[in-house]
Structure 1
Amino acid sequence: MKRADLERLDGLARNPAAPESVLLRILTGAEGPVRGSVFERDGVPESVCDVAVYHPDREVRGYLAVGRGASGAQRARLAADPDPWVRSRVAAGPEVHGRWRKADPLPDEVCAALARDEDRQVRAWLGMFVPVPEEVRALLLADPEAKVRESALYHWRRAPIEAVRPLLDDPDPTVRRAAAQVAGVVLGSPAEILEQVAAADSGWGRREIVVGALLTDDLADRLYATGDKDIRAGLAANRGLPDRLVTALASDASPAVRLAVSLRPELTEERRAAIDWHVGPEDRILPPAWVMQSLTDPVLMRACAESAHPGMRRFAAYSPHLPGDLVARLAADEDFVVRMLLCENHPAAPGDLLLETLLASPFITRFDQLPQPQFPRAGLARFAESEDPGARLLVARDPEAPAELIERLSHDPSAGVRCVMARDARLPVGRLLELLDEPETVGAAAEGPALPLTAMEAILAAAGIP
């Protein structure tokens, strides 16, 4: 099959206007991953799921199991599949790229059943990509198989420290290491930690070990005495650092060390302000473990959000639990990264802020918030003349944009803009058929809701599907 024919077939499988008969022909007559595209479209017909659930080829059943467009109830029909490979894919769920495109979760009772599945791999994959209830996570953390406990830790990256702490003493070393990584601690005696620091092959590696080390006064003093700036930066971020060393490191010669000290949560604002730190708009500050473990702590998150330090406000912006007054406060923050992180993490980030951040962001993730329900639609046609192709493609989201404008933008110099317009139902059929023959837009044009049935039949015929 020619590449263009395959791209058209893949687009047709995703076309929201493709009738069930066309989808069934693709599912039963095509080969390879293109069959999975039938389950990537929004709204998978039940008749298509019926065929997939009982299909003799487990690959087809697997495509439904991880289909991003299938509902949780539809995917759950395979939770009792006789093949553990299929059940594992149900347990893992769809791998969804883009923070705000979320797959429909499995029903709670199905998650609980998968957590007790006889196959270890099924239990280990549960919740890999789709969230499961916390009580199910607790079942997995108590699983008799070490591999399942380890996997559950890595899939529950924002697990409360209370759930992780018992596994720091797990009888299996792989589970202990996973728990330590999630908790942000380094296991071992002071002598072992010193050996790990000495053996680290990079400054970043030394810093990370020291950040998570369980410090005694003697170990802290010995690490401080090395004079290594990466070790000092690690000490500066370690929650167990004695206050006398916090004071010493607050005037350290290294800007990285002083910045790390300034981000300690126990400092008063006066003490924080007395430190000579700097945070630029392009400086990246990775949140330490205590941040991710404290996202539900209202007192600490408020202190971070109200801090004069942009790094602390960035930490607060990771929390999806901030109350409305703090959301409004951070939405107006002078630091772009604070505003961007709020958009990425809080479900109630203001719609105007989502748009503003998309337009200003230089990052590849700039479009991740488009599916948010509060992302504005009205008035987006005003971006038709923008120099930014990312702004021009927003025009298709404006319900009042006229067909003439959609047609004009379908000739845009940017292939990305042309593809977005090809998927718009307002695009005239004649222009859609032209895009169906242009190399950069063949797949997107096949997704166009205005595609005539005759064109769909031609795509199937070219792919050899009866």
Structure 2
Amino acid sequence: MARGLAGNPAAPLDVLLRLLDDHAEAVPAAIRRRADLPPAVVAAALRHPLARVRGALAANPHIDPALRLGLLDDPERRVVELVRADPDVALPDRAFVPSLDRLVEQFRRGILTPAELRGEVIELAWRDRRAVRVVATHPEPLVRAAAVGLLGGLDEAARDELRQVLLHDDVPEVRAATAHFHAERERVREPADLPVNGYAYRGLLSELRLSPALIEYVLAAEDGREGVEAMATNPTLPPEVVEALFDHPSPDVRRSLAERDDLTGAQLARLAADPDASVRTAVSVHPALTEEERAAIDIDVTTAPWDRRIDLCWHVRGTVSRDPLPPLAASVRLATSVNPLLRRRAALDPRLPAGTVTALSDDADPGVRALLAHHHPAAPPELLLRVLRGYEYRRCDRGRLPALPNFPTAALARYADDQDPAVRRLVARDPWADPALVDRLTRDPDAAVRRAMAACPRLPVDRIVDLLDDVELAESAARNPALPVDVMRERLASSAPWQGKR
């Protein structure tokens, strides 16, 4: 019940402060999400002895960024990491320095080898690209030398900028490591250089210069389809080898060819007429095609591979690096493409103008509509409802749609008997829903529907109070803003304080 009270928007200040004092284990989830925390609660949470409470504040995007940045000095590492986990916070260098210093200290104590230190530094910077500059200017030369390992994964502009910084480093070893990296990038790889498998295997074959012997080795390997597939995208692959791969029996290889920027018109036409639908679909988004040529390609969007940039409608857990948005003009242009996969890319852009949003809201492709609903702040209410009810594009989780500001509330009670539990839950959002209907749905076969109705302010007060004694629905009922404040205080006073570890 205490956890529900912590998330109750009608809970008064004294209730919230008592929860922090006596039931601290119950408040982190609410503190992490709430946008309406009173200043006194924020102040108490900032100095709270329980790290989970401070961490919840660090993770709340609605809190004043200056207050969250103050938690970068928190003694608990996990609290600091929660501040850093927000990609929208402008972090000072000191956000990363303690983590790097800790790795250096472990190295000096013999806990980490030089290779392990390098790996840890690179992993830290890969998780958050904002750390790259801090790594490149860290006072420990071994840390700066580790920045060399980041060069291969940066775009050309960022790579050149970082390389110049490292080439002018005061320590000869850092400069030498940087020069060696550049030389290694240019070195032609031989069969002996080929890793056994994994990312390094695919990375070498798709990015680096390959000798004729290595190319022949990969093509001749009995189980080398994955290697050929990676090699097909390599921009340094000789033209005659590229041409030969158009006759490769694996559609995976031919589909990889579609990613090349240097395809001729004849090669594009071959892929556009490929017998495999996934190959035709892959090449249909090639930038060298005209809209007329795209329209002539018989595609199947269900064969399009899962794309993290498109299909992940929330942050990637464990990383805060985001792909930059294209120029707005490019997104607007893609929005008018005959190809639904290109229109899906356009739908990711939250800057699209109103006219474009209106057009994409009624797009024939369910993926376009779903992605627009998830990504654009001005997505129309009727679109949000349509996407949730239809759920035709299941690569995006619809669960967060009802929490969006534009999601409609009127006339949702008409879905009380819908076959889909996620749609029946919407009744709780209708401000004119009949209290008797809400009460009935607290006995719905679906647990999530029952919880939603227990927290609905249209539920009769006596039923809300009764549900405080229901094992399953007590937390939801305690979250109900219609719960009388005196009942909140009585229940809180009668509950035993938490005795857990701080």
Using the size of structure 1 for normalisation, the TM-score is 0.74
Whether 2:207 is the aligned partner of 1:187: answer: yes
Whether 2:460 is the aligned partner of 1:431: answer: no
- CA spacing shift, 1:151–1:255, aligned 2, 3 Å: same
1:419 to 444, 451, 454: 451
Q: Which amino acid aligns with 1:326?
A: T
- Give yes or no for contact 1:14–1:447 (8 Å, CA) kept in 2: yes
Whether 2:17 is the aligned partner of 1:37: answer: no
Whether 2:491 is the aligned partner of 1:458: answer: yes
2:344 to 305, 309, 314: 314
Q: Which residue of 2 aligns with 1:239?
A: 261
- Give yes or no for contact 1:65–1:90 (8 Å, CA) kept in 2: yes
Q: Which residue of 1 aligns with 2:20?
A: 27
Q: Which residue of 2 aligns with 1:341?
A: 371
RMSD: 4.4
CA distance in 2, matches of 1:436, 1:148: 56
Q: Note the residue ranges of structure 1 that are not aligned, 5 or more in a row.
A: 1-7, 95-104
- CA spacing shift, 1:81–1:252, aligned 2, 3 Å: same
Whether 2:282 is the aligned partner of 1:260: answer: yes
Deviation at residue 361 of structure 1 after TM alignment: 0.7
Deviation at residue 344 of structure 1 after TM alignment: 1.8
Q: Counterpart of 1:347 in 2: which secondary structure?
A: coil
Q: Which residue of 2 aligns with 1:401?
A: 433
Whether 2:142 is the aligned partner of 1:120: answer: no
Q: Which residue of 1 aligns with 2:108?
A: none
Q: Counterpart of 2:344 in 1: which secondary structure?
A: helix
- Give yes or no for contact 1:232–1:249 (8 Å, CA) kept in 2: yes
Deviation at residue 267 of structure 1 after TM alignment: 0.3
Q: Note the residue ranges of structure 2 that are not aligned, 5 or more in a row.
A: 103-120, 167-177, 186-199, 312-321
Between 1:208-217 and 1:312-321, the stretch displaced more is: 208-217
Q: Which amino acid aligns with 1:112?
A: P
* Cα deviations by residue, 1:17-44 (Å, 9 ceiling, x for unpaired): 233333333333346x534235135222
Matches within 5 A, 1:33-432: 33-42=25-34, 43-67=36-60, 70-93=63-86, 106=89, 108=90, 111-112=91-92, 114-115=94-95, 117-120=97-100, 139=133, 144=138, 145=143, 162-163=157-158, 171=178, 186-191=206-211, 207=229, 210-211=232-233, 214-221=236-243, 223-224=245-246, 226-275=248-297, 277-279=298-300, 282-286=302-306, 295-361=325-391, 363=394, 365-432=397-464
CA distance in 1, matches of 2:309, 2:451: 41
Between 1:358-367 and 1:261-270, the stretch displaced more is: 358-367
Q: Counterpart of 2:71 in 1: which secondary structure?
A: coil
CA distance in 2, matches of 1:165, 1:194: 33
- Give yes or no for contact 2:72–2:95 (8 Å, CA) kept in 1: no
Q: Which amino acid aligns with 2:404?
A: Q
Deviation at residue 459 of structure 1 after TM alignment: 5.2
- CA spacing shift, 1:85–1:387, aligned 2, 3 Å: closer
- CA spacing shift, 1:229–1:299, aligned 2, 3 Å: same
Q: Which amino acid aligns with 1:52?
A: A
CA distance in 2, matches of 1:422, 1:360: 26
Q: Counterpart of 1:369 in 2: which secondary structure?
A: helix
Q: Which amino acid aligns with 1:319?
A: D
* Cα deviations by residue, 1:140-194 (Å, 9 ceiling, x for unpaired): 585554678989999xxxx987446766998498xx9xxx9xx9x9421134678
CA distance in 2, matches of 1:261, 1:83: 50
User: If you compute each CA radius of gyration, which structure gives the higher value, 1 or 2?
Assistant: 2
- Give yes or no for contact 1:208–1:234 (8 Å, CA) kept in 2: yes
- Give yes or no for contact 1:53–1:77 (8 Å, CA) kept in 2: no
- CA spacing shift, 1:294–1:450, aligned 2, 3 Å: closer
Q: Which amino acid aligns with 1:377?
A: T
Q: Counterpart of 2:470 in 1: which secondary structure?
A: coil
- Give yes or no for contact 2:384–2:407 (8 Å, CA) kept in 1: yes
CA distance in 1, matches of 2:306, 2:263: 19
- CA spacing shift, 1:322–1:401, aligned 2, 3 Å: same
CA distance in 1, matches of 2:259, 2:439: 55
Q: Which amino acid aligns with 1:40?
A: R
Q: Counterpart of 1:368 in 2: which secondary structure?
A: helix
Between 1:283-292 and 1:450-459, the stretch displaced more is: 283-292
Q: Which amino acid aligns with 2:31?
A: F
- Give yes or no for contact 1:197–1:210 (8 Å, CA) kept in 2: no
- Give yes or no for contact 1:295–1:320 (8 Å, CA) kept in 2: no
CA distance in 2, matches of 1:196, 1:56: 59
CA distance in 2, matches of 1:329, 1:464: 56
- CA spacing shift, 1:161–1:367, aligned 2, 3 Å: farther
CA distance in 2, matches of 1:451, 1:343: 33
Deviation at residue 273 of structure 1 after TM alignment: 3.2
CA distance in 1, matches of 2:21, 2:101: 29
Q: Counterpart of 2:402 in 1: which secondary structure?
A: coil
Q: Which amino acid aligns with 2:17?
A: L
- Give yes or no for contact 2:442–2:453 (8 Å, CA) kept in 1: yes
CA distance in 2, matches of 1:346, 1:201: 44
* Cα deviations by residue, 1:336-384 (Å, 9 ceiling, x for unpaired): 1111122122222222111111111154712322233222222223323
- Give yes or no for contact 2:277–2:303 (8 Å, CA) kept in 1: no
- CA spacing shift, 1:152–1:168, aligned 2, 3 Å: closer
Q: Which amino acid aligns with 1:189?
A: R
CA distance in 1, matches of 2:221, 2:490: 64
- CA spacing shift, 1:305–1:160, aligned 2, 3 Å: farther
Q: Which residue of 2 aligns with 1:16?
A: 9
- Give yes or no for contact 1:422–1:435 (8 Å, CA) kept in 2: yes
Using the size of structure 2 for normalisation, the TM-score is 0.70
Q: Counterpart of 1:307 in 2: which secondary structure?
A: coil
Indicate the percent of aligned positions where both proteins have the same amino acid: 33
